[in-house]
Amino acid sequence: MCEALNQPWTWIEGGVSAPQGFQATGVKAEVKYKDKYDVALIYSEVPAQGAGVFTRNKVKAHPLVLTQKYLENGVAQAIVANSGNANACVGEVGDRAAEEMARTVAAALGIKREDVLVASTGVIGVEMPIERVVQGIEDAAEILKASEMEPAWTPLKKVENAHQAALAIMTTDTAVKEFACELPCREGVIRLGGIAKGSGMIHPNMGTMLGFITTDAKLPATQLQDLLRQAVDQSFNMVTVDGDTSTNDMVLFLANGESGITPVGEEWVAFQEMVNSLCITLAQEIARDGEGATKFLEVQVNGATSVEDARKLAKSICGSSLVKTAMFGEDANWGRILAAAGYADAEFNPSQASIYLGDCLVAQDGQGVQFSEEVAKGILTQKEIKISLVLKDGEAQATAWGCDLTHEYVTINGDYRT
Amino acid sequence: MCEALNQPWTWIEGGVSAPQGFQATGVKAEVKYKDKYDVALIYSEVPAQGAGVFTRNKVKAHPLVLTQKYLENGVAQAIVANSGNANACVGEVGDRAAEEMARTVAAALGIKREDVLVASTGVIGVEMPIERVVQGIEDAAEILKASEMEPAWTPLKKVENAHQAALAIMTTDTAVKEFACELPCREGVIRLGGIAKGSGMIHPNMGTMLGFITTDAKLPATQLQDLLRQAVDQSFNMVTVDGDTSTNDMVLFLANGESGITPVGEEWVAFQEMVNSLCITLAQEIARDGEGATKFLEVQVNGATSVEDARKLAKSICGSSLVKTAMFGEDANWGRILAAAGYADAEFNPSQASIYLGDCLVAQDGQGVQFSEEVAKGILTQKEIKISLVLKDGEAQATAWGCDLTHEYVTINGDYRT
């Protein structure tokens, strides 16, 4: 999370409860483990506009199907999510469990069942321990209701509670992914919050990725959907891939309008940038937290024919096992980078391609150039490595994020070049 | 390599030199390592019909481009290959090196330069030590010429020499991949030989895959090309993927007609089966030899809408890191199998899908069934594991081969379900 020059918005605390009218909490319901937060509840005090982006996997988890249905009208007021069980591939009992989760939230918070979005993450094909989840939801709702009743409820407590929601959606994640920011506007302030989970080796077939985003901006659902779609395409989809994801992946976005502000003109542009930055920052954190990762990789492609091709090239390089092991092995093996671009199923002219590791040019016009192995080593020993593929085919650019591939596989591949 | 019931052909010794009129050898040219066979030469005493299947990577190695050009007329008489250097992405010096290899073979064996096919495997972007390769080729040619001059040249020696060619194309491979077989026909015997190399983690982006196949059958080049294409599609392409391969991948097939037999009718069917079996056996050996692999995986898909979809599904399951780690962890995590099918970009109905581990049904109609964890464990502790996805969408079937994914990544993913 970097502060860009002249960036009109700032990072703040509070995660998904930072925007006005939102509250969130997490509880320990023993879905799979004892003493782990595993049920998260996010709630808007008023019905909100809702948008979602979902996995393209042909096999869809039960809560995902329900959430897609409930989102058809573009209205939502709560998100309930559990870790420890994916509620996928268990048949009708799974459909009923997802409905039961929505019903419990609705009853406990006094809202419409159809305004509750449901998400799950965990093992596929095992029946949900629905009684424990229901109990967890009721406990979570109690906490949120207490906060409404209690004027002395401190902002700090609100932040702590929202943090527990972020904890509750984690599975093999080692770090919480939670951010919030605010944009000063002429008529006040718009706030934005987001949490995410997603571990696995990151691409090609990671574990479930979930993202929940809240804002108090006032936007119609269709605009919210477009905003989310374009943000996801340059963020979450650049660490994972729609076509390569799990049965449960989803990113949800609620806008409750409580700021009273509909950003337009420059403020709309700034708001859009803030949403993109939040999503990119969450996506980067997912990449950084790849299982067993020791290095964070950023792959930038410039000069591509189209944004689509630039994205394919960046993701192909970032997802290549051979590139990832070379980075772990701190080996400036640019041939693997070019080869991974070669099978990206994207149009480009390899004989005009240049490759940089950090600022160090290692290949030009599709062939190696003389470079200082020492300088390259200096770059590759860093915890964060930037790989650039510079083409002369067009103007399009894209960035993907990932991590290195470590250990045993590397003892074979990491030193292949030297 | 299994003997099917009533199989009309038999496995024999001799590798690529088993068919009449073929010789092969390998020498230690110190391309990269001392004391490793690294230059292979395969030679037909008469010009042969030639066919080839090549990588779809946009970045193509210099020898591959040359070989494609030389094969345009469908005639070839020798294959020269080196390990230790891919001769890729080094610019014009690479084109010249590939040409120099062909020229050296042609001069040493007294054949046309355009009839020499060139292949390389090894590190990308490093200039070939062409003097050492040239010396190696000359040494290899000497050995082959000596065998022509020397009637006392024993069959055993011929087999040993051919074996050295198989050794010379290995890189991180731990086992030689070399087979031969013969088909008794009414007018005599047709022989077939093949060697291959290919290691890496196997899918999604393995190291280079090379395959060289020889036969003394009499076939026109166009028929040979069709035969090779369909054999590759059900063998080598089911461990790797055209779209996901290296800059150097190729499979070459020479038919010199020295048996005098053009198989037709039943004999053609039997010959075709023999070619398919040889290619499948070589492909299985590649999968078995995946880097760090402890288990061999066979994934069979039945009842798919089309062969193309069946292949996509089988490869997606076989290439899934999460399935591979589950197999290493001996965990009957069928949900990962179904999820991997789900992102295969193939049409199928998940709610009618059944999954078997060995003979043990673990999921039916898209959901888990009661099964004995003990029985499943018994299957998963084997060195060879068969996974079946049975669909009700059509009649098509396909099989893919792969290996498990081991160690560090597994300590995180292997026990995720239990």
**pLDDT tens-digit readout, B246-285:** 889 999 999 999 999 999 999 999 999 999 999 999 999 9
Q: How far apart are CA B359 and CA B310, in angstroms?
A: 20
- Tell me the nearest-neighbour CA distance from B392 into chain A, angstroms: 15
Per-residue confidence band for A124, with pLDDT thresholds at 50, 70 and 90 = confident
Quick: pLDDT tens for A269-280: 999 999 999 999
Residue B4 — very low, low, confident or very high, per pLDDT cuts 50/70/90?
Answer: low
Q: What are phi and psi of B407, to 5 degrees?
A: 65, -140
Q: What is the dihedral of CA A195, A201, A206, A210, to 10 degrees?
A: 0
pLDDT digits (tens, 9 = 90+) for B295-346: 899 999 999 999 999 999 999 998 887 788 788 888 888 988 998 999 898 9
Among B89, B91, B335, beta carbon nearest to A124: B335
> Is any Cβ of chain A less than 8 angstroms from the Cβ of B237?
no
H helix or E strand, kind and range, residue B282? helix B265-288
Tokens 């026990």 belong to residue: B415
| DSSP alpha helix (H) spans, A343-402 | 373-380
Note whether B10 and B1 are within 8 A (CB): no
List CB contacts (< 8 A) between B405 and chain A.
Answer: 409
The predicted-structure confidence for A42-95, as pLDDT tens digits, reads as follows 999 999 999 999 988 899 999 999 999 999 999 999 999 999 999 999 999 999
Mark yes or no for CB contact B245/A348 under 8 Å. no
- Whether the per-residue pLDDT at A331 is higher than 90: the answer is no
Q: What are phi and psi of A221, to 5 degrees?
A: -60, -35
For residue B197, say whether it is annotated as part of any ligand binding site: yes
* Cα gap B324→B290, rounded to integer Å: 12
Q: What is the pLDDT of residue A184?
A: 97
Q: Confirm or reject contact between A350 and chain B (CB < 8 A).
A: yes
What is the per-residue pLDDT for A239?
A: 86
Q: Is B373 on the interface with A (CB under 8 A)?
A: no
Residue listed under structure tokens 């703040």: A12
Q: Which of B86-95, B145-154, B277-286 has the lowest mean pLDDT?
A: B145-154
Q: What pLDDT sits at residue A56?
A: 85
Domains observed in chain B:
10-288 (3.60.70.12), 296-413 (3.10.20.340)
Does pLDDT of A321 surpass 90?
no
Q: Report the distance separating Cα B392 and Cα B102, nearest Å.
A: 52
Which residue, B191, B187, B192, B163, is CA-closest to B175? B163
Mutate to test the interface with A, among B199, B206, B289, B343 (most CBs of A within 10 A): B343
Mean pLDDT in residue range A133-155: 85
Q: Judge whether B107 is closer than 8 Å to chain A, CB to CB.
A: no
Q: Cite the DSSP H helix spans in A289-395.
A: 307-319, 321-328, 334-342, 373-380
Q: Kindly list the residues from chain B whose CB atom is less than 8 angstroms away from the CB atom of residue A200.
A: 321-322, 413
Question: Chain B: residue nearest A416 by CA?
Answer: B123
For the segment B92-103, the average pLDDT, to the nearest whole number, is 97
- Residue A177 bridge partners (DSSP): A196
Mean pLDDT of B112-116: 98
Of A244, A344, A367, the CB nearest to B90: A367
Q: How far is CA B345 from the centre of its chain?
A: 25
pLDDT at B328: 81
Q: What one-character-per-residue DSSP string does A74-88 give?
A: SEEEEEEEEESB---
B412 chain-A contacts, CB cut-off 8 A: 172, 291-292
Tokens of B334: 């069928």
- Among A57-61, A112-116, B394-398, the least confident range: A57-61
B191-206 pLDDT, tens digit each: 999 999 986 544 434 4
Least confident of A244-248, A309-313, B139-143: A244-248
Please give the ipTM for the structure prediction.
0.83
Interface contact A18, partner B, CB < 8 A: no
The mean per-residue pLDDT over the stretch A247-256 comes to 95
Q: Is the pLDDT of residue B57 over 70?
A: yes
Contacts of A57 in chain B (CB under 8 A): 339, 342-343
For residue A149, which amino acid is it? M
Neighbours of B110 (CB within 10 A): 8
Name the DSSP letter for residue B261: -
Judge whether A364 is closer than 8 Å to chain B, CB to CB. Answer: no
Q: What average pLDDT does the segment A349-356 reach?
A: 96
Query: What own/partner pairs with CB < 8 Å and gap ≥ 24 does B139-143 have?
Result: B139/B27, B139/B29, B139/B39, B140/B25, B140/B26, B140/B27, B140/B39, B140/B40, B140/B41, B141/B41, B141/B105, B141/B108, B141/B109, B142/B108, B143/B25, B143/B27
CA-based nearest residue to A264, from A180, A182, A190, A181: A190
Widest Cα–Cα separation across chain A: 69
State the pLDDT at residue B242.
37
pLDDT, chain A, mean: 90
Q: What is the pLDDT of residue B417?
A: 32
Place of tokens 């022989």: B191
Q: What is the overall mean pLDDT for chain B? A: 90
pLDDT, tens digit, 9 for 90 and up, residues A25-48: 999 999 999 999 999 999 999 999
Residue B153 is predicted with a pLDDT of: 62
Rounded CA gap, B71 and A146, in Å? Answer: 78
Closest CA to B335 of B382, B374, B368, B384: B368
Percentage of chain A modeled with pLDDT above 70: 91
Residues with Cβ within 8 Å of residue B327, at least 6 apart in sequence: B295, B297, B380, B385, B404
CA B126, B128, B132, B136 dihedral sign is positive
- Looking at per-residue confidence, does B148 or B88 come out higher? B88
Q: How many CA atoms lie within 13 A of B338 on its CB side?
A: 33
CB proximity list for B223: less than 8 A, separation 6 or greater: none
Residue B123 has pLDDT above 90, yes or no: no
Q: A7 pLDDT band (50/70/90 cuts)? A: confident
Identify the pLDDT of residue B235.
94
Q: A328 or B353, which is more confident?
A: B353
| Average pLDDT, integer, range A325-335 | 84
Q: Is the pLDDT of residue A191 over 60?
A: yes
- State the smallest CA–CA distance between residue A389 and chain B in angstroms: 14
Q: Which residue has the higher pLDDT, B196 or A336?
A: B196
pLDDT for B305-319, tens place per residue?
999 999 999 999 988
A150 compared with A11, residue with greater pLDDT? A11
Please give the pLDDT value at position A152: 60
The answer to whether the CB atoms of B409 and A291 lie below 8 A apart is yes
